[in-house]
Structure 1
Amino acid sequence: MMANKTVPMALKVSDYIAAIKDPQRREDCQQILDMMSELSGWEPKLWGNTLGSAIVGFGEYHYKYESGREGDFMRLGFANRSQNISVYIMPGYENMGDQLARLGKHKIGKSCLYIKRLSDIDVDVLKEIIRKDIEIMAERYPLS
């Protein structure tokens, strides 16, 4: 069985944020860090892989697919990427049409919300999305 490529790393989240070159992007990521910390109550951890890609993750859950593949992953997270900030909502966005319609300028993938800057979106709606992620994940993967 293959191991997950993205795993917790022994690096400091504060160093990750401090290394963001663009001052506005750094400030936006700090605000998202503070927001996710406050809403979840979890300590952030840096998750990454051997390719150098890093994600600030919150919480953790164990999954097991019907195929037998299993592993551990974050419940919620975000990352600074070259073109945008990626917000990771693990249950995906299929049940968040109302929130997405009110969010502002964004793009989505299966579990990724892509935003250029916080000023492009309604931060209160982002908080709703984060709260909903936490609730859905607690239902699917109860905290022990």
Structure 2
Amino acid sequence: MNAEEQIASHIAGLANEKRAEVQELHTLILQWLPATKLWFDDGKNEDGKTVTNPTIGYGSHIIKYADGKTKEFFQIGVSANKSGISVYILGIPDKNYLPQTYKQIIGKATVTGYCIKFNKLKNVNINVLEDAILNGVKITGKS
């Protein structure tokens, strides 16, 4: 399966309420980043063991490891979990940027150096979430 098929299958397998929210967010991100590369990470390591929640990825950036190796990976990630939805904005060098810029205006969400986590999509200001995602892409110069 390609990434689009994996994403559709993943979303279809979510519980009803979570499915609707993740589908709505997926549709919005595709509108905000129309030419983006799509990814799907099933959350399993090379041994097939689940190590994280499945994540829908958008865009591309290069991860640089301490040993000098690099890896292409998604820049924006969406992961449904037991307590809600996490939106990862990867590659921003200043880990204070997201919390300082968006924590007070996003709505009912937890904002860390690379993640905006919320229980329900209606609890966050969609325009602010869009701004955070687009600015994350702009800061890193990728999409």
Question: What range is the shorter-chain TM-score in?
Answer: 0.7 to 0.9
- Structure 1 match to 2:79: 79
Structure 1: any 5+ residue segments left out of the alignment? Answer: 1-7
- Structure 2 match to 1:19: 13
1:36 partner amino acid:
I
- Structure 1 match to 2:40: 46
| C-alpha deviation, 1:115, in angstroms | 0.5
In the alignment, is the contact (CA less than 8 A) between 2:63 and 2:72 conserved in 1? yes
- Structure 2 match to 1:134: 137
- Structure 2 match to 1:95: 97
Distance (Å, rounded) in 2 between the aligned partners of 1:117 and 1:111: 19
Percentage of matched positions with identical amino acids: 18
Please give the secondary structure, in 1, of the residue aligned with 2:105. helix
| C-alpha deviation, 1:99, in angstroms | 2.4
| C-alpha deviation, 1:66, in angstroms | 5.1
Distance (Å, rounded) in 2 between the aligned partners of 1:94 and 1:30: 29
| C-alpha deviation, 1:15, in angstroms | 0.7
Distance (Å, rounded) in 1 between the aligned partners of 2:55 and 2:130: 19
Distance (Å, rounded) in 2 between the aligned partners of 1:14 and 1:93: 32
Distance (Å, rounded) in 2 between the aligned partners of 1:54 and 1:9: 12
| C-alpha deviation, 1:9, in angstroms | 6.8
| C-alpha deviation, 1:16, in angstroms | 0.6
Structure 2: any 5+ residue segments left out of the alignment? Answer: none
1:86 partner amino acid:
S
TM-score in terms of structure 2 length: 0.79
| C-alpha deviation, 1:44, in angstroms | 2.6
Distance (Å, rounded) in 2 between the aligned partners of 1:43 and 1:67: 27
Distance (Å, rounded) in 1 between the aligned partners of 2:28 and 2:78: 11
1:124 to 101, 122, 127: 127
In the alignment, is the contact (CA less than 8 A) between 1:75 and 1:137 conserved in 2? no
In the alignment, is the contact (CA less than 8 A) between 1:37 and 1:43 conserved in 2? no
Please list the CA deviations of residues 41-82 of structure 1 after superposition, one character each: whole Å capped at 9, or x if unmatched: 214321132334310001122233453132121011101111
